[in-house]
Amino acid sequence: MASLPQNQSKKASRSSSGDGSQGVNRNASGQTVKFARRTSSGRYVSLSREDLDMSGEMLSGDYMNYTVQIPATPDNQPMETSVAVKAEEQYVSNSLFTGGFNSVTRAHLMDKVIESEVNHPQMAGAKGSACMMPACDGKVMKDARGADVIPCECRFKICRDCFMEAQKDTGLCPGCKESYKREEYFDSAQDSAHHPDHHNMTNSKMDRRMSLMQPDKSLSMRKKSSGDYDHNPWLSDTKDTYGYDRAFSSKHNNEDYDDDDDDDDDETDEGTGDEVHEQLEKPWKPLSRESPIPSAIITPYRLLIAVRLVVLGFFLSWRIQHPNEDAVWLWGMSIVCEVWFAFSWILDQIPKLHPVNRSTDLSVLREKFDMPSPSNPTGRSDLPGCDVFVSTADPEKEPPLVTANTILSILAIDYPVEKIACYISDDGGALLTFEAMAEACSFADLWVPFCRKHDIEPRNPDSYFSMKGDPTKNKSRSDFVKDRRRIKREYDEFKVRINGLPDSIRRRSDAFNAREEMKMLKHIRETGGDPLEPLKVQKATWMADGTHWPGTWAISARDHAKGDHAGILQVMLKPPSPDPLMGSGDEDKIFDFSDVDIRLPMFVYMSREKRSGYDHNKKAGAMNALVRSSAVLSNGPFILNLDCDHYIYNCKAIREGMCFMMDGGGHDICYIQFPQRFEGIDPSDRYANHNTVFFDGNMRALDGLQGPVYVGTGCMFRRFALYGFDPPQVDKIRQTVPDSDTHALRPNDFDPNLNVNLLPKRFGNSTMLCESIVIAEFQGRPLADHPIVKYGRPPGALRVPREPLDATTVAEAVSVISCWYEDKTEWGDRVGWIYGSVTEDVVTGYRMHNRGWRSVYCITKRDAFRGSAPINLTDRLHQVLRWATGSVEIFFSRNNAILASRRLMMLQRLAYLNVGIYPFTSIFLIVYCFLPALSLFSGQFIVQNLNIAFLVYLLTITICLISLAILEVKWSGVALEDWWRNEQFWLISGTSSHLAAVVQGLLKVIAGIEISFTLTSKSAAEDADDIYADLYIVKWTSLMIPPIVIAMVNITGIVVAFCRTIYSPTPQWSKFIGGAFFSFWVLAHQYPFAKGLMGRRGKTPTIVFVWSGLIAITLSLLWIAISPPKAATTQVVAGGGFQFP
């Protein structure tokens, strides 16, 4: 009957999509079920569970077909859709997908993801009952609550495959031998999920893609007969329409559809029309408001900028016209530095002319998108979806506990659960990160409902339990204290499990490797080999289910190293149901979640494929892999990007961002940048880690222009803008397409140079990815609820449930994260995160602004996100070095703002030009810091005499500087102390990191020497005694040498000049005071640096004293050699025998 070997399981007859009829080729002998499939992009996908157990020689081919001959009987019919969908979801959520270059995409079924018990039904590896059929290892089907779905009253547990076979053979239950009541089985399965409209959704809406397309009759029949959707006809349509293919067309255009589709379309059109009518009847309210800075502050501020600009011009003119003839070299250096400082100040100050404040109205957002209405009685949300990206690279420097807390804060966010999908990119491919994320998903089963029940803030458990103050404040539920005590105990156990994972993985791997050695030894003895010969056994890393980890091993091996491993993708939490699922109040449960929605957002673990010979492009490459895989799996029209140490501090942060994206003029916003806020910073903020001058001053000012720059984290993107398209030109689109809301849009409506046939050249050969682009564009439009909204979507268009994931879709997601996918495409050049700079964030934002998009700065009352920052001096300097090096790369690339297009505003162009130029200020700054010492050594000054003109200019410039600082502090809200700390660290970093960045950048441009940086370590806050212990650790680095030299030379110069002035027969105190004043000004800026060198309790490393002494002595001897004392003037001074040059 079958061409398979006798020992093959009966489950080999199951197709990859869960439908027994899929892939069927009818012939005279019966039906042939093929177990080989190629995706729409041409990749081979093997999804059979048995393929994992095949021998090595069977897997060596490019692809294989296994066939089973099944008699063509009337009983062999496609299974019910509801059962097929459940089977496919369970199969996908319990499988680890791997694949990549020249390798078959495989789905490894995992009954056990972590060693601890998993309870949530959405999670991979959730515990389940085994099938009671003999010789069957299948799992019983489950409903949305995780309860077993048992089709017979005798409670005989049976898996999906055995149940279908029993139905086809005799129709009798194997347990009680009674006939199955098929209708009751399906009804109970649906009712248990609490989906009142599940049947209708399955029969009609499930056949639609998220694009809200109205499939024609041929497509509908094709789907009904095969159980899979054929995208080829849609692709043919997109060549002409590039869009929604009659998504909201009028009823007279639907005559070609079959009767069932016509009825459903009429209902949809009627519901959409009612929705629009309801929205238009309501008074229109904006979701966000822009308020300018009060005129009493901003007008004097602008006036002072103009005054200082004029005074600077007169001052430089006076300085050039009055050289110091006695020290022309000193005068020349000072003039060059001052001219550059004036130019740098203009680039920094002029873009600050138009700061603005913005506010949002969350109540209006809820009223428009989440409130029940006659056309939406269940209150399903009409908000667009949002995919959250978290990136990590090394679990040793980025502790898994920190990353896990970030993931928990995302899973508990206050946003429609079905609209959120969370992705983590593990660039290290570490099993430690994989199991830590699985543990986080398991703990989320308790943490997320607890947060929703008691309205917890923040929803990062580590930060929540570390807060000081009364936790019961504003808590009305009587069981809060009890629940908090229990969840705290659960979290402590969770931390123990996370911290114990490294040892657990090591012990497990050692045990399995020892077993493999014993097997090899036994084989050698049985075959008569030499037992004394050393065994060559590769030390593998093993997963909890006893199989090899496909990623990086602890001891690197071929195909299992950090830069050489397969692509890995695991849907750890499958997509939730579209309707709320309330918890149970059973006594055996430790928490009462009877009135709380227990659903969890979709969560996906991803580690892109890495192979030697391919440039992985660091973080930018990882982010682009996330963009592609998420487009295939969830395709949220908006993307929130977070670092692994930046968690959601305000659970309504995404809603705040949506107020701008969904507002009337939000169609041309490419991203919403939130300010970065940090925890764990020392109270004095010694190294300006908070950087409030930039985040509250510069960024707020740019918000009044074309928008803030992208700073790498805490940013919500419009997916369509990331794809490299220009913003929609509303007027032009409406001229060419008069009814653009109801007609499909053409490719050149977005990009005049783009043709649908060229999509693979830009985005790669994934058809699913190309299909998702236009869907994301439509779903990201603002709500067309008022005539003022000229480019929007109809209300209620996003209430249709998303299609469940199938194995083919997940396999396609594995294909798009392979190392070869970006070859000969525009990824990294025009599409996605831009490559070629270590500061890929700034370049990516610049490219969007250069195409005409605008961005918005969203400052919320409660901080949206919080993260960690390096408080150690060395780590901070290296962080600034990386940023400055990226700016130098930008300056010497085509991303220089000088080469920008006309779509970039002039003041925005100056701001981006300053981003590329500011590191070069270090050259002039370090010279200027030595000028006071050189002046003191030589007895000369930068001017001939301290006359009244020089002092007036100096006084006027100083008063303008102080006045501008005070006014800037007023409109930005920055504390004066923070402003001073920023000035101090500007000089410290400018004389160390920025100078090194210029050198490294020039070496890369001129000599082609590549720059490599180490990952900034993230603190896990394990030292409870002193959370600032890292502040006092002194780590020597060559970046410290220039500031140390500047400090020692200035101190030496003050001492030398003071002694010379005292013992001089004609002391020139004015020159000494002038030089000493500027030297003290330099030293005052270096005070935090000096404290950092002292460490704890003044313990300075010996090397600091050694280097300082040697450098000071060398410079002193060098000066004596250059300017020796004159013999004619050497004499014994009256009153002492001291002699000095």
- For 386-469+478-511+541-685+692-736+743-869, the fitting CATH number among 3.10.129.10, 2.60.40.1260, 3.40.50.300, 3.90.550.10 is 3.90.550.10
For residue 809, give the nearest of 577, 601, 574 by alpha carbon.
Answer: 574
- pLDDT for 602 equals 95
pLDDT at 751 exceeding the cut of 60: yes
Peptide bond into 292 cis (omega under 30): no
| Model confidence band, residue 131 (pLDDT cutoffs 50, 70, 90) | confident
pLDDT at 526: 82
Q: Provide the token pair at 1082.
A: 């330099």
Q: Which alpha helices (DSSP H) does 431-575 contain, by range?
A: 431-454, 461-466, 480-499, 501-526
Ranges of H-type helices in 816-891 = 840-850, 873-891
Q: Residue 404: what pLDDT?
A: 96
CA 755, distance to chain mean position in Å, is 30
Name the residue with tokens 């579209």.
Answer: 578
List pLDDT tens digits, range 532-542. 777 777 899 99
Q: Tokens 């703002």 appear where?
A: 897
pLDDT score at 417: 95
In this predicted model, which residue has the larger pLDDT, 801 or 45?
801
Which of 196-210, 589-603, 1090-1104 comes out lowest in average pLDDT?
Answer: 196-210
728 vs 737: CA distance, rounded Å: 13
Instruction: Tell whether omega for the bond before 458 is within 30 degrees of 0, i.e. cis.
Output: yes
Instruction: List the Cα angle 1026/1030/1032 in 5-degree steps.
Output: 90
For the stretch 1033-1086, pLDDT in tens is 888 888 999 999 999 899 888 888 888 888 877 777 777 887 888 899 999 999
Q: Reply yes or no on whether the pLDDT at 191 is more than 90.
A: no
Q: Tell me how crowded residue 503 is: count the other CB atoms within 10 A of its CB.
A: 9
The H or E element that residue 214 is part of is none
772 or 1022: whose pLDDT is higher? 772
pLDDT at residue number 165:
79
Highest mean pLDDT among 73-87, 611-625, 756-770: 611-625
Alpha carbon separation from 676 to 393, 642, 655, 673, 986 (Å, rounded): 21, 11, 18, 9, 19
Name the 3-class secondary structure at 439.
helix
- Mean pLDDT calculated for residue range 956-980: 92
**Helices (DSSP H) in 529-603: which residue ranges?**
none
479 is in an annotated binding site: no
Residue 175 reports pLDDT greater than 50: yes
| pLDDT tens digits for range 845-882 | 999 999 999 999 999 999 999 999 988 899 999 999 99
Q: Is the pLDDT of residue 126 over 80?
A: no
Burial grade of 54 (CB within 10 A; 0-12, 13-18, 19 or more): middle
Computed from CA positions of residues 757, 762, 767, 771, in that sequence, does the dihedral angle turn out positive or negative? negative
Is the pLDDT confidence value at 1140 over 70?
Answer: no
Q: 419 among the known binding-site residues?
A: no
Separation CA 231–CA 219 (nearest Å): 9
Q: Is 427 a catalytic residue?
A: yes
Cα(882)–Cα(618) distance, integer angstroms: 13
Residue 636 in this model has a pLDDT that exceeds 80 = yes
- What pLDDT score was predicted for residue 1116? 64
Degrees to nearest 5, angle at CA 1093 with 1087 and 1096: 105
| pLDDT at 1113 exceeding the cut of 90 | no
In the predicted model, what is the mean pLDDT of residues 586-608? Answer: 87
Q: Report the phi/psi class of residue 235: left, alpha or beta, with left for phi > 0 and alpha for psi in -120 to 50.
A: alpha
3-state secondary structure 955-983: HHHHHHHHHHHHHHHHHHCCCHHHHHHHH
398 annotated to a ligand binding site: yes
Taking the C-alpha atoms of residue 113 and residue 124, their distance in angstroms, rounded to an integer, is 7
Question: Greater confidence, 168 or 414?
Answer: 414
| Residue located via tokens 């428009």 | 368
Query: Regarding predicted confidence, which is higher, 204 or 416?
Result: 416
H-helix or E-strand spanning residue 643: strand 638-643
1118 or 932: which carries more pLDDT confidence? 932
**Could you tell me what percentage of the chain is helix, strand and coil, using 3-state DSSP and rounding each to the nearest 5?**
50, 10, 40
The pLDDT tens digits of the residues spanning 685-727 come to 999 999 999 999 999 999 999 999 999 999 999 999 999 999 9
Q: Is 350 exposed, middle or buried (0-12, 13-18, 19+ CB in 10 A)?
A: middle
Give kind and range of the element (H or E) at residue 610. Answer: none
- Judged by DSSP in three states, 508 sits in helix
Tokens of 529: 């080999």
Q: How confident is the model at residue 505 (pLDDT cuts 50, 70, 90)?
A: very high
841 a catalytic residue:
yes
**263 labeled part of a ligand binding site:** no
Mean pLDDT of the chain: 78
Which tops the pLDDT comparison, 482 or 54? 482
Catalytic residue among 207, 445, 703, 841: 841
Q: Residues 379-383: what's their mean pLDDT? A: 90
Closest CA relative to residue 100, chosen from 572, 571, 541, 629? 629
Q: What is the pLDDT of residue 527?
A: 82
Would the annotation count 177 as a binding residue? no
Q: What's the rounded mean pLDDT across residues 800-813? A: 89
Percent with pLDDT over 70 in the chain: 73
DSSP string for residues in 457-486? SS--HHHHHH--S-TTTT---TTHHHHHHH
Joined tokens for residue 38: 């190629």
Query: Is pLDDT at 529 greater than 60 in this prediction?
Result: yes
Dig out the tokens for 25 from the structure: 């080729």
Q: Give the pLDDT band (50/70/90) at residue 81.
A: low
Q: Which of 357-361, 480-484, 958-962, 1001-1005 has the lowest mean pLDDT?
A: 1001-1005
Pairing outcome for strands 103-109 and 288-292: unpaired
Q: Residue 223: how many CB atoms within 10 A of its CB?
A: 16
Q: Could you tell me which of 509, 493, 501 has the C-alpha nearest to residue 541? A: 509
User: Per the annotation, does 80 bind a ligand?
Assistant: no
Domain with CATH 3.90.550.10 in the chain: 386-469+478-511+541-685+692-736+743-869
Q: So what's the pLDDT on residue 230? A: 40
Q: Which residue has the tokens 């692709």?
A: 235
Q: Is 427 annotated as a binding residue?
A: yes
Of the given ranges (343-357, 527-541, 743-757, 828-842), which has the lowest mean pLDDT?
743-757
> Which residue out of 427, 645, 696, 785 is catalytically annotated?
427
Q: What is the pLDDT of residues 554-585, one digit of tens each?
A: 998 988 999 899 999 999 999 998 888 888 76
Phi, psi of 810 (to 5 degrees): -65, -40
Tokens (6 digits) for 994: 């920025």
